[in-house]
A and B are shown apart, each in its own frame.
Chain A
């Protein structure tokens, strides 16, 4: 059963029959984490890097922003048994409109943010597919930890 992670949304699961999927990432970033021992997976789809722009909205929905959504993703996965040192981490998305000169560079800023947070917290990224101007869909199977990336128009690949 596919559990859909919407835009500015996050789900964790330890249900072996479930898969987490998030569609059409655009400039947003999808972060998938998986612990093969606990068979726990989590998937976050955040839209913007920094919650400082509107703290109230971040409180209402931390998953809008990377800086509030990413820690929450890890915490929720820990609650159902995941452990940090076992986690496999995937990052996808952060696409941009062509000719970036600044303002519309949300994709790149989203990516910089996740790198910064992972750097600070000693989290290694196992696989990433970011940038360019393509739409990505990311799917994580809980039972096996197998992850699939679909690039719109190009096709599906196993990570």
Chain B
């Protein structure tokens, strides 16, 4: 068995995706499904419903009215946002632990994941893309490969850093060169193992390589952009730092200006307090 085979086998050690997350993803990807179906599926999962309502009533959303049911949550926040929140309250478990290889303390990877997913959600809205919940979920889970690769990165850290510092490789390229596998590719394998829809797998695989996206695809560029903004803003970043490439063509394709960049950073900062609360509530402790 090769080293890569051994790494891929570790995918099985991850906590499985909850049934409700699958159901919600299925409903969201089926244009013929109804709003009532979504409400019905969530309603019968008590833990998810309780977490969802707590989050809806948190300061992040700042709603004046108390949300008391899933139906109300959908009415106030919309189907897409509620679907995103369901993904969020059911995904925390795999992301909570410290990841020593990436120098991330307990909770850092989760904070980073939620933050970049929320930025991606805002961008998805700005660009009016057809599948915002998918973009959110992809941004949330894109670093799942790090959870497995962390121990391997730790063992080879000096060699990886040499490639980054002396050869000018990105952290991702260095992972691949030294370990034979990078966290994005591994994340895509996890997504396949979890039977995620192909577009979701593609976003996870190419979240650092938006140049590989099809010319009319905005999902990968948006998740890439959200990730880059998160890196710059210093939200629980780790040892890979900002050692990823800037793809000017991709940013140009989105017609994303420097003003847009700065305003996104400011708006995100203003929401930070609410986001911290949201992250705590969505940790999935209960």
Contact = CB atoms under 8 A, between A and B. Distances in A.
B241 A152 contact: yes
Contacts of A104: 228, 232, 246, 251, 261
Contacts of A48: 262, 265-266
A77 B272 CA distance: 26
Interface string A1-38: 00000111000000000000001111110000000000
B136 interface: no
B242 A133 contact: yes
Contacts of A47: 233, 265-266, 269
Interface of A, helix, strand, loop or mixed by DSSP: loop
Given A64-B269, A152-B241, A7 B234 contact: yes
Interface in B193-250: 228, 231-246, 248
Given A7-B234, A47-B233, A106-B261, A57 B266 contact: yes
A57 B270 contact: yes
Most buried by A among B102, B161, B265: B265
Nearest to A99: B246
A26 B251 contact: no
Interface in B162-179: 164, 168, 170
A54 B267 CA distance: 11
Given A54-B263, A104-B261, A7 B243 contact: no
A135 B164 CA distance: 14
Contact of B242 (A6, A8, A95, A101): A95
B266 A64 contact: yes
Contacts of B103: 152-153
B259 interface: yes
Contacts of B272: 6-8
Q: Which of under 10, 10 to 19, 20 to 34, or 35 or more describes the interface residues of A?
A: 35 or more
A69 B265 CA distance: 16
Contact of B241 (A6, A99, A135): A135
Interface in A67-98: 93, 95-98
B262 A53 contact: yes
A47 B241 CA distance: 16
B258 interface: yes
B245 A98 contact: yes
B157 interface: yes
Given A102-B248, A154-B239, 15 more contacts: A7-B269, A7-B272, A8-B272, A24-B236, A47-B266, A48-B266, A54-B263, A61-B270, A95-B241, A98-B170, A98-B243, A104-B232, A106-B262, A133-B243, A135-B237
Q: Which 5 A-B pairs have the closest CB atoms?
A: A153-B239, A26-B234, A27-B232, A24-B234, A133-B242
Interface of B: 102-103, 157, 161, 164, 168, 170, 228, 231-246, 248, 251, 256-259, 261-263, 265-266, 269-270, 272
17 contacts: A24-B237, A27-B231, A27-B242, A28-B234, A53-B266, A57-B266, A97-B245, A98-B242, A98-B243, A101-B248, A103-B256, A103-B261, A104-B228, A132-B241, A153-B239, A153-B241, A154-B239
